[in-house]
Chains A and B, each alone.
Chain A
């Protein structure tokens, strides 16, 4: 059986069920790299130039973990999924960059996803992607439709049941997942999924919040309309593909009555430096919800993150007791 490797990084959290279904329907076995460890990050960052951002370094580490045991590695170049809204350069050049920095990599299945070039081009790209597995265009089409269906169900599951992507993926593959208790006070996490759900790079942020007695709300739990209204309110027309995760969810949660919101960004992230700034400015303007922005990088020590988190939660507690004005 042909093995297709999918690195557990970057777009994995958004599209895994879709990709798994697609390759599964075409008769391939999908191999996912193991969760990030310190070693993943270390081998990944040894390959790329120092200025590369943390998530991309982690990504390279995951690709290296798959090199030995896969026939192909799937790395799409996701350029645009909505008309006139583009993605960060690092996503656009991801297959080419991986090929350059990891020469021992098995053949990379890359595909251009650019909605601006029209549906025909997209269908051609999908067919080309399925080509190594099947010559039959109808089979590829069937696989693509099934993948699309899986993706829709995955998104609905997260919105309806308030699950995070890792929880939803576990639920889809049959594991029992306790639904979160809606009566607990909530803290919103704002940021890209590859930062929020990678427990190694964010030092188990969600777990720590749970231990402190909070449930977490994340961008994936919001509907497209909620995200869109928030973006329109804050910046007008969206510009980046992932503006929803940051500006959209940030804008929404700041006015949704959560106890606090934490913006998580990676050091050196181009789009985030601007988008999180928008959210921060909105938080200052509103003065209703406490907001903390947490910058992650490969040197950030666990103790530092923990201290800031504790201070933030203490502040929320104090605010509750005294009804004082919000600090941002």
Chain B
């Protein structure tokens, strides 16, 4: 049995750590690239969203490398995600790969469901081994996200453009290589220090833009054309509330205990959207309402044909709380120059707005 996993941002690093520690045979398909996308597009039903297409491309590439057990997240999350595995398996079979898709139900049984799935896959490894491997994976995830948060702060104000991005790339590969807690800790302190030492423009007061929208396109830079890096290059500080580590912490550990980090967002959205509509639609509306005061603008990312985000997009303009929102729909047709032009225009608008505000 050889396990294959799809990509989502840097999630492959903690997954790799987990599978290595369990001594399982696995392949990580190549990072998302043009071939992944074109494979996904060619074999997906017309009208599917980009997360489906890219993960399908990943699974095909993993199958090419000999993977026969493919992990896919699933769950009755109301959006199409719960149906992905069914269709992707049929596509793989029709292409002649005899691979089985194991859908890991993350939304219903939370942590227990995930651990049980790992146990099944690992041929009944002992619980202590599974838990220690899982903890190590989580530790890597936390380090990556901590560094990324610091990178988001440095990007807009660095004197030498590209410093933060370079450091982040190094940090990612250092995290990948770290094989115990001690070296992992060192990676974190090292890179946080280097980032804090990066030469900055102290006088700059960067615009603050929140990135909201659908989970996958937020976290997979290939699908959103590196929108965060580009905003950073334009001198904008990016704030994002969705991080994989945060999601894991809440949805696996704290939500079952009754702590819900999203309650705040839901409460804010209440006057405009009273109910959960699946995906991240409710949260998108909530973030707009909540951050209208403290951010300069919002970039709303959604896959083309994403059902929850279309509803959110329809509701957002009618809120009393006013803040500019730029919606970018991500799919294989999204071109970088077009997106850059829109981002530049948006940033210009925010600058004018801030200047006008200062005058008043």
Contacts of A92 in B (CB 8 A): 78, 275-278, 311
Is B71 part of the binding interface, using a Cβ–Cβ cutoff of 8 Å? no
Give, as a whole number of angstroms, the nearest-CB distance from B286 to chain A. Answer: 13
How many residue pairs, one in A and one in B, have C-beta atoms under 8 Å apart? 112
Contacts of A269 on B, CB cut-off 8 Å? Answer: 47
Q: B275, A93: Cβ atoms under 8 Å?
A: yes
Q: How far is the CB of B296 from chain A (nearest CB, A)?
A: 23
- Compute how far the CA of A88 lies from the CA of B311 in the bound complex, rounded to whole angstroms: 11
**Which residues of chain B are within 8 angstroms of A51 by Cβ–Cβ distance?**
304-305, 310, 313, 329
Is A101's beta carbon under 8 Å from chain B? yes
Let me know if A278 is at the binding interface, CB within 8 A.
yes
CA distance A79 to B318 in the complex (A): 23
Q: Which residues of A contact B318 (CB under 8 A)?
A: 99-101, 103
Once the chains bind, are B46 and A273 in contact (CB under 8 Å)?
yes
Give the contacting residue for B311; candidates A84, A89, A239, A273; CB below 8 A. Answer: A89
| Complex-state Cα separation, A295 to B83, whole angstroms | 21
Q: In the bound complex, what is the Cα–Cα distance between A95 and B311 (angstroms)?
A: 11
Interface-central residue, B47, B90, B272, B304, by most chain A CB under 10 Å: B47
Chain A proximity mask over B74-95: 1 for CB below 8 Å, otherwise 0: 0010111011001100100010
Query: Within 8 Å of chain B (Cβ to Cβ): is A274?
Result: yes
Say if the beta carbon of A174 comes within 8 Å of chain B. Answer: no
Q: Are A93 and B78 in contact (CB under 8 A)?
A: no
Given contacts A49-B314, A96-B275, A277-B45, contact A271 B80 (CB under 8 A): yes
Interface size on B, residues (CB 8 A): 38
Out of B76, B86, B281, B307, which one reaches A236, CB within 8 Å?
Answer: B86
Chain B residues lying within 8 Å of A96, measured Cβ to Cβ, are 272-275, 311, 315
Q: Do the beta carbons of A52 and B310 come within 8 Å of each other?
A: yes
On whether the beta carbons of A48 and B87 are closer than 8 Å, the reply is no
Whether B307 contacts A84 by the Cβ 8 Å rule is no
Q: Which residues of A contact B279 (CB under 8 A)?
A: 89
- Chain B residues with CB under 8 Å of A97's CB are 311, 314-315
Given contacts A100-B314, A100-B318, A273-B46, contact A268 B305 (CB under 8 A): yes
Selected contact of A89 from candidates B48, B272, B304, B308, CB within 8 Å: B308
Q: List B contacts of A52 (CB < 8 A).
A: 310, 314
Does A139 lie at the interface of the complex (its beta carbon under 8 Å from any beta carbon of B)?
no
Q: What distance in Å separates the Cβ of B194 from its nearest Cβ neighbour in chain A?
A: 42
> Does A112 interact with chain B (Cβ within 8 Å)?
yes
Please tell me if A154 contacts chain B, counting CB pairs below 8 Å.
no
Q: Which of B80, B306, B315 contacts A100 (CB 8 A)?
A: B315
CA distance A29 to B278 in the complex (A): 34
Does A180 sit within 8 A of B, measured CB to CB? no
Instruction: Return the chain B residue nearest A77 by Cβ.
Output: B275
For A77, the chain B residues whose CB sits under 8 A away are 275
Within 8 A of A (CB), among B297-323: 304-308, 310-311, 313-315, 317-318
| A79–B277 CA distance with the chains assembled, in angstroms | 9
Task: Give the one of B83, B276, B308 with max A CB within 10 A.
Answer: B83
Measured CB to CB, the closest approach of chain A to B106, in angstroms, equals 16
| Cβ contact within 8 Å between A86 and B78 | yes
* Cβ-neighbour of B47 out of A84, A90, A103, A268 (below 8 A): A268
Report A233-283 residues with CB < 8 Å from chain B CB. 235-236, 239-240, 267-278, 281
Please list the 9 inter-chain residue pairs (A to B) with the smallest Cβ-Cβ separation, ordered nearest first: A273-B47, A277-B45, A93-B311, A89-B307, A100-B318, A93-B277, A89-B308, A270-B307, A100-B315
Q: Sample 11 A-B pairs with CB under 8 A, ordered by A number.
A: A48-B314, A90-B311, A92-B276, A93-B311, A96-B311, A100-B272, A103-B318, A112-B275, A235-B86, A239-B82, A267-B47
